[in-house]
């Protein structure tokens, strides 16, 4: 059973322009998150690769137990985790900042 448009709350009333604006903002937040996540993954990958490769050359235990696949797994898992953590935090922070900005604009 459809509701009468006059009985809908203001939160339920959304125009096509408002939906397009929300979609545009969501895409922008996601793009910012991807860029920040990629930068973090590069830095984390380099920061992990140097000690991992150095330890395989210098420590007998690491030489005996970490083959090439193990080294790659260590480096890629740290880089992947950094990407997802930073991208998620960036998207949420940007959305939160915009949400507070919109709520202050409505109050004025």
* 35-55 per-position pLDDT tens digit: 999 999 999 999 999 999 999
Token digits of residue 70: 């193990």
CA angle 19, 21, 25 (to 5 degrees): 115
Least confident range from 8-12, 60-64, 65-69: namely 8-12
d(CA 62, CA 84): 28
CA distance 14 to 25: 16
Of 35, 34, 39, 50, the residue nearest 79 (C-alpha) = 39
Q: pLDDT at residue 8 above 60?
A: no
What pLDDT sits at residue 4?
A: 57
pLDDT for residue 54: 96
Angstrom distances, CA of residue 67 to CA of 42, 44, 53, 61: 22, 20, 11, 11
């Amino acid at each position: 059973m459809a509701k009468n448009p006059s009985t809908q709350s203001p939160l339920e009333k959304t125009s096509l322009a408002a939906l397009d604006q929300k979609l545009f903002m969501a895409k922008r937040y996601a793009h910012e998150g991807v860029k920040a996540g990629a930068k973090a993954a590069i830095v984390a990958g380099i920061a992990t690769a140097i000690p991992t490769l150095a330890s395989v050359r210098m420590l007998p235990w690491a030489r005996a137990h970490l083959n090439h696949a193990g080294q790659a797994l260590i480096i890629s898992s740290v880089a992947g985790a950094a990407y997802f953590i930073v991208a998620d935090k960036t998207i949420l922070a940007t959305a939160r900042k915009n949400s507070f900005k919109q709520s202050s604009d409505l109050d004025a």
